[in-house]
Amino acid sequence: APQLIIYDLDGVITDTAEFHFLAWKKLAEELGITFDRQFNEQLKGISRMDSLDRILALGESAASLSAEEKLELATRKNGYYLELIEEINPGHILPGIEALLDDNKQAGIKIALGSASKNAPHILDKLELSDYFDYIVDAAQVTKGKPDPETFTNAADALGIAYENCIGIEDAAAGVDAINSAGMFSVAVGEQAHLGHAHYRVDHTQDLVFQDIIERFHNQPK
Ligand code: BG6
Ligand code: MG
């Protein structure tokens, strides 16, 4: 039976995935690099510096920048992002997520956060959701970000739970890869085109229903 559910933050619990997109887009435009939502799918779940590297590579300007310059750009993007999330409050929790967390807790199944974001603990506080979580993995705890499984295995290891008894919930292709390579059951929210490799996928967060997820977990082909 499942003993732990690990939730991604940006794009699953709240719509900060959109704010990351807008902040990167603003920075990229200042650099004369344009990218669209299709390219942005590759940035979801990816750490701040790795995202910057991918954008610079797209603009073919990666090689010409020093480490200091890159740090300045990443910091500038984070400034834009912090402006966008300043007003975030419990009203910004995505539909269905609080019911899911409530059902999860009532079932006695542990709850963890598996986020690539350095801003994750701050955002969880602003959403007033911190109390639900038995363990939080953010960018500070991992050496290898998604698609490496470390974000998810860290949470399971900290709580002493076997990977096969864990479920991960993600909106990013790289996040689903991370869950799958951890040997966990992957649940994705978003489009089939990007997330077809998940064990179970729904279109919208309100379709993330606790009983459905548990049923799919039990019916997975072994
Ligand atoms: C992930 C987001 O959760 O966190 C990425 O999906 C983001 O888009 C990454 O780049 C890092 O976030 P931050 O807040 O540390 O810049
Ligand atoms: Mg995400």
pLDDT at 215: 98
- Determine the distance separating the centroid of ligand 1 and the alpha carbon of 9, expressed in angstroms: 9
Q: Over the stretch 114-132, which tens digit does the pLDDT of each residue have?
A: 999 999 999 999 999 999 9
- Give the pLDDT band (50/70/90) at residue 64: confident
Q: Evaluate: CB of 117 within 6 angstroms of ligand 1.
A: yes
Q: What is the 3-state secondary structure (H, E, C) of 86-138?
A: CCCCHHHECCCHHHHHHHHHHCCCEEEEECCCCCHHHHHHHCCCHHHCCEEEC
Instruction: For residue 131, indicate whether it is catalytic.
Output: no
Q: What residue's CA is closest to ligand 1, atom 11?
A: 117
Tens of pLDDT along 128-174?
Answer: 999 999 999 999 999 999 999 999 999 999 999 999 999 999 999 99
Q: How confident is the model at residue 187, as a pLDDT?
A: 98
pLDDT reading at 105 higher than 90: yes
**How far is ligand 1, taken at its centre, from the CA of residue 140, in Å?**
12
Task: Tell me if 159 CB under 6 Å of ligand 1.
Answer: no
The pLDDT of residue 63 is 72
Q: What is the pLDDT at residue 60?
A: 85
Ligand 1, residue 45: give the atom nearest the CA.
6
CA angle 94, 209, 12 (to 5 degrees): 30
The pLDDT, as a whole number, for residue 137 is: 97
Give the per-residue pLDDT at 21: 98
The pLDDT score that the predictor gives to residue 221 is: 78
Q: What is the mean predicted confidence (pLDDT) over 23-45?
A: 96
Residues ≥6 apart with Cβ < 8 Å to 4: 109, 110, 111, 112, 155, 156, 159, 161, 165, 166, 167
Q: Is 48 in the pocket of ligand 1 (CB under 6 A)?
A: yes
- What is the tens place of the pLDDT at every residue in 86-104? 999 999 999 999 999 999 9
In ligand 1, the atom with minimum distance to the C-alpha of 115 is 3
Q: Is-catalytic flag, 138?
A: no
Report whether pLDDT(62) > 90.
no
Q: Is the CB of 20 under 6 A from ligand 1?
A: yes
